[in-house]
């Protein structure tokens, strides 16, 4: 007679093929314990109460028929979802454990205590359904978990509550929507050693960028205490992004983004008044500091890479850090179910026209833009009062909000990060969401018309009014190949990953000044001379921005390095040409603390800008910070694909001084493959191109300044606008001259102006000249690529036609000789 199926299976006895026996979550834990622990991935030990034990529990209490009848009544419309779920859960909670089954669970719990060296171990008790954590269905948050459970009685109660949570309202609704038969889904329970994260930290981690699908990064969210607050969206977590291709080189630290979240509260263990956990306020130091240091961030990222490699697909993981030992653990892993299933061959782009005043800023989820009317919701059960297509605005969401979210066109929340419930479910439903706005429920009002934009990078915005929206589809399978490289102009690190799918040949112009102006905001010399600043207002603002940096210069270096690194990561290993700062004096003066360090000039466009600043005593120490950031990007982070470019370099002698200054700051041309380009935007760059080519590896034509200085026309003058023309013969001859001279000297030459995007005939002219590359805005990439491909085909045909008369003549001569 065959033996009865087991009630208990230890994690080290199961793997990912055992979903039917122990559910998706427990099967994954078992897989990691058996296969990944030997690779250094730490997973807390534990055991599973099997799905068969759940079925025997229902059978012993004669619950199957009651559940089936309740579901039938719900589907017939005779009973509401809420009443159906409540009745089934009460029936399961009222069930009694068969004595042999209860004895086996208690015995396993005692054995877990023996293995861990604890008489009465604290455990996490987690639901693990047989239809969850599948590659095409996440079932995120559908069933319950219970933390800090201790003792036989508490454990059996928690297991029974997990069984009942298979029939929460949200779980019933979700299975109906996904077409899963309720009676065919069973539930296993995972009993896992509790990590003392209440005094440590915890969070969520993805091995893919959750918004863009960029597959070369690990995204980590972190909070103090237990991780439930992240998923529930009750806190704004820290966010870290790590570049995967370089993370396994332990000499490098490729952390391309670090953001401090608000982290206003933390969930800790309670063990009082019947509570197992409770939320308490965080300290000022906890709110202002990072949960994880760089070593821990990199360790988690390496684990994410190992887990993804083992499973062969992008993964969604949960981690915890023990507050007593400082050790990190992976406590869950499941397949990522949104970006990994997205159509990789189609890129949808959005452009907003005539947008109104910006009301709110938060984290963007998704990449769409929608318009609609606001509906602020406090109670998720008020379904009938929520109109289809409204913009759902709430403090945060949990699984009870899913029916409302199905009616919404977009979601906006006060709290939460990219791994909060609102973000996860919005992503899965294809809804744009802006989360963590702080005061959306205060600043918006019912029936207000708004535009919700998630198409402008990793920040999402809510604008007043209904904007005009253009939507374009790019079929990535129909982009032609070209000899001429077509690269991207990029300034905003937040938007860099948005365009990673474009088959660009790199980035031809990354504007450093955008990062300084929009992210750093402070004049570098004000950081160097902070103690002697006379502007008290600027000094106070700098102190606020640089909180946590003992050396205020490092604030500039770290933020600039991470911004550049994020842009470099988006195109790695293709070249990314970063132009050193090219503010004019009036623009530098507008940075915080800048007025003390900038001269007043009548004509800043032709004044103290570009190369002349870098070796000047006025800015030498500021340039040293720029060089330190570039050195960190290339040497410490490992982005050797970054090329340095010098703007507005007037003479070869000035080039020598700049290159000498760079070398003194650790950026020596040629060392570790460092290439240095020069902007070609002054007539002297053209006239003396052969001399500049001896000093630089390439030229990048800045057509705006070159046109301005060739024609003597102020590019910003409305009165002279009709005279400003990059296609004028004086300009095109100049461009042809520098291309020929650069190639004769063995240097590369590209163009980074807007003209190829605006004028197809200009792009064709550049192809005729044999230019090596064009760098254009991402939204014009496809049109320029098609123009270049057509121009190259025409050029080949023209060459072939020129050859054909000679070929014909030779054939006739050969025939006569015969």
Q: Are strands 698-701 and 315-321 parallel, antiparallel or unpaired?
A: unpaired
Q: Give me the mean pLDDT over the 412-422 stretch.
A: 91
CA–CA distance, 434 with 536 (Å, rounded to integer): 35
Residue 433: φ, ψ to 5°: -140, 145
CA–CA distance, 441 with 435 (Å, rounded to integer): 12
**What is the average pLDDT value for the chain, to the nearest integer?**
91
In this model, does residue 638 exceed pLDDT 50?
Answer: yes
Angle, in degrees to the nearest 10, between helices 760-769 and 781-817 = 50
CA–CA distance, 423 with 408 (Å, rounded to integer): 14
Q: What pLDDT is recorded for position 273?
A: 58
Instruction: Report CA-CA distances (Å) from 515 to 241, 569, 577, 633.
Output: 17, 16, 15, 14
Q: What pLDDT is recorded for position 209?
A: 93
CA–CA distance, 583 with 604 (Å, rounded to integer): 9
Which pair of structure tokens corresponds to residue 658? Answer: 């700049």
Which pair of structure tokens corresponds to residue 478? Answer: 């129909």
CA–CA distance, 691 with 668 (Å, rounded to integer): 19
pLDDT, greater one: 152 or 398? 152
pLDDT band per the 50, 70, 90 thresholds, residue 628: very high
Count helices and strands in the chain by DSSP H and E runs: 30, 30
Q: Which of 188, 92, 86 is nearest to 145 (CA)?
A: 188
In this model, does residue 323 exceed pLDDT 70?
Answer: yes
Q: What pLDDT is recorded for position 1?
A: 44
Q: What pLDDT is recorded for position 10?
A: 97
pLDDT band per the 50, 70, 90 thresholds, residue 133: very low
CA–CA distance, 470 with 468 (Å, rounded to integer): 7
Q: Give me the mean pLDDT over the 394-398 stretch.
A: 90
Residue 742: φ, ψ to 5°: -65, -45
Radius of gyration (Cα) for the chain, nearest Å?
31
Query: What are the catalytic residues?
Result: 421, 752
In this model, does residue 810 exceed pLDDT 60?
Answer: no
Q: What pLDDT is recorded for position 585?
A: 95
pLDDT, greater one: 72 or 132? 72
Other Cβ atoms closer than 10 A to 741? 22
CA–CA distance, 403 with 387 (Å, rounded to integer): 12
Terminal Cα-to-Cα distance of the chain (whole angstroms): 97
- Percentage of the chain beyond pLDDT 70 is 95
Q: Are 487 and 773 in contact (CB under 8 A)?
A: yes
pLDDT band per the 50, 70, 90 thresholds, residue 139: very low
CA–CA distance, 508 with 783 (Å, rounded to integer): 17
pLDDT band per the 50, 70, 90 thresholds, residue 343: low
pLDDT band per the 50, 70, 90 thresholds, residue 81: confident
Burial of 96 (0-12, 13-18, 19+ CB in 10 A): exposed
For residue 701, list its beta bridge partners: 680, 751
In this model, does residue 340 exceed pLDDT 80?
Answer: no
Q: What pLDDT is recorded for position 812?
A: 52
- Residues 6 or more apart in contact with residue 763 via CB below 8 angstroms: 756, 774, 784, 787, 788, 791
Which pair of structure tokens corresponds to residue 310? Answer: 């083992």
In this model, does residue 750 exceed pLDDT 90?
Answer: yes
pLDDT in tens, 83-109: 999 999 999 999 999 999 999 999 999
Q: What SS3 state is found at 451?
A: strand
Which pair of structure tokens corresponds to residue 412? Answer: 């906006």
Q: What angle is formed at CA 230 by the lines to CA 229 and CA 236, rounded to 5 degrees?
A: 100
- Residues 6 or more apart in contact with residue 229 via CB below 8 angstroms: 223, 235, 265, 266, 267, 279
CA–CA distance, 287 with 334 (Å, rounded to integer): 30
Q: Are strands 485-490 and 773-776 parallel, antiparallel or unpaired?
A: parallel
Q: What pLDDT is recorded for position 758?
A: 85
């Amino acid at each position: 007679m065959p033996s009865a199926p087991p009630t208990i299976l230890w994690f080290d006895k199961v793997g990912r093929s055992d979903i039917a026996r122990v559910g998706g979550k427990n099967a994954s834990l078992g897989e990691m314990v058996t296969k990944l622990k030997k690779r250094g991935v730490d997973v807390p030990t534990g055991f599973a109460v099997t799905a068969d034990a759940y079925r025997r529990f229902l059978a012993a209490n004669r619950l199957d028929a009651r559940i089936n009848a309740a579901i039938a009544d719900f589907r017939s419309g005779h009973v509401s979802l809420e009443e159906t779920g409540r009745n089934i859960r009460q029936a399961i909670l009222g069930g009694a454990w068969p004595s042999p089954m209860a004895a086996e669970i208690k015995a396993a719990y005692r054995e877990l205590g023996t293995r861990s060296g604890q008489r009465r171990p604290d455990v996490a008790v987690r639901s693990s359904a047989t239809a969850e954590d599948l590659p095409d269905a996440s079932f995120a948050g559908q069933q319950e978990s219970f933390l800090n459970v201790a003792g036989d009685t508490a454990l059996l109660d928690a297991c029974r509550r997990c069984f009942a949570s298979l029939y929460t309202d949200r779980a019933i609704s979700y299975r109906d929507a996904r077409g899963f038969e309720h009676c065919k889904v069973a539930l296993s329970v995972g009993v896992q050693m509790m990590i003392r994260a209440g005094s440590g930290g915890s969070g969520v981690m993805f091995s893919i960028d959750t918004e863009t699908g960029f597959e070369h990064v690990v995204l980590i969210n972190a909070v103090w205490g237990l991780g439930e607050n992240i998923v529930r969206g009750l806190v704004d977590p820290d966010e870290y992004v790590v570049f995967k291709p370089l993370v396994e080189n332990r000499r490098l630290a490729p952390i391309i983004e670090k953001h401090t979240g608000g982290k206003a509260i933390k969930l800790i263990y309670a063990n009082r008044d019947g509570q197992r956990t409770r939320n308490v306020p965080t300290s000022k130091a906890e709110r202002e500091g990072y949960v994880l240091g760089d070593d821990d961030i990199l360790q988690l990222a390496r684990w994410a890479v190992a887990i993804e490699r083992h499973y062969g697909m992008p993964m969604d993981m949960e981690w915890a850090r023990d507050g007593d030992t400082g050790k990190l653990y992976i406590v869950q892993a499941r397949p990522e179910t949104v970006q990994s299933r997205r159509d990789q061959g189609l890129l949808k782009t959005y452009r907003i026209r005539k947008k109104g005043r910006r009301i709110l800023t938060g984290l963007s989820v998704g990449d769409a833009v929608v318009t609609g009317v606001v509906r602020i919701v406090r109670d998720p059960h008020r379904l009938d009062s929520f109109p289809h297509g409204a913009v759902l605005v709430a403090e945060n969401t949990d699984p009870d909000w899913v029916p409302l979210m199905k009616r919404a066109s977009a979601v906006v929340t006060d709290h939460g990060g990219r791994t909060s419930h609102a973000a996860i479910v919005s992503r899965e439903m294809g809804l744009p969401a802006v989360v963590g706005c702080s005061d959306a429920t205060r600043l918006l009002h019912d029936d207000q018309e708004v535009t919700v934009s998630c198409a402008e990078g990793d920040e999402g915005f809510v604008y007043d009014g209904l904007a005009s929206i253009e939507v374009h589809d790019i079929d990535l399978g129909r982009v032609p190949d070209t000899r001429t490289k077509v690269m991207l102009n990029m300034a905003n690190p937040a938007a860099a990953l948005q365009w990673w799918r474009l088959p660009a040949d790199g980035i031809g112009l990354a504007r450093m000044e955008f990062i300084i102006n929009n992210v750093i905001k402070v004049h570098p010399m004000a950081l160097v001379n902070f103690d002697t600043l006379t502007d008290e207002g600027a000094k106070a603002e700098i102190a606020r921005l640089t909180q946590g940096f003992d050396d205020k210069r490092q604030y500039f270096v770290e933020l600039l390095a991470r911004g550049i690194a994020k842009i470099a990561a988006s195109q790695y290993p293709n070249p990314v040409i970063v132009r050193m700062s090219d503010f004019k004096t009036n623009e530098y003066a507008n940075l915080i603390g800048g007025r003390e360090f900038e001269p007043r000039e009548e004509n800043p466009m032709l004044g103290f800008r570009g190369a002349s600043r870098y070796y000047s005593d006025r800015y030498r120490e500021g340039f040293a910070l720029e060089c330190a950031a570039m050195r960190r990007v290339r040497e410490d982070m490992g982005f050797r694909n970054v090329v340095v470019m010098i703007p507005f370099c007037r003479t070869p002698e000035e080039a020598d001084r700049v290159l000498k200054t760079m070398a003194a700051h650790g950026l020596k041309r040629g060392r570790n493959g460092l290439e240095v380009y020069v902007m070609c935007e002054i007539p002297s760059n053209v006239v003396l191109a052969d001399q500049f080519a001896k000093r630089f590896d390439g030229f990048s034509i800045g057509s705006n300044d070159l046109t301005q200085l060739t024609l003597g026309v102020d590019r910003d003058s409305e009165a002279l606008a009709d005279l400003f023309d990059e296609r004028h013969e004086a300009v095109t001859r100049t461009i042809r001259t520098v291309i020929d001279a650069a190639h004769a000297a063995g240097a590369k030459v590209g163009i980074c102006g807007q003209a190829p995007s605006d004028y197809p005939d200009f792009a064709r002219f550049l192809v005729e000249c044999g230019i090596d590359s064009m760098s254009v805005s991402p939204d014009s990439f496809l049109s320029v690529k098609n123009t270049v491909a057509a121009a190259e085909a025409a050029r080949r045909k023209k060459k072939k036609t020129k050859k054909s008369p000679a070929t014909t003549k030779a054939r006739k001569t050969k025939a006569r000789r015969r």
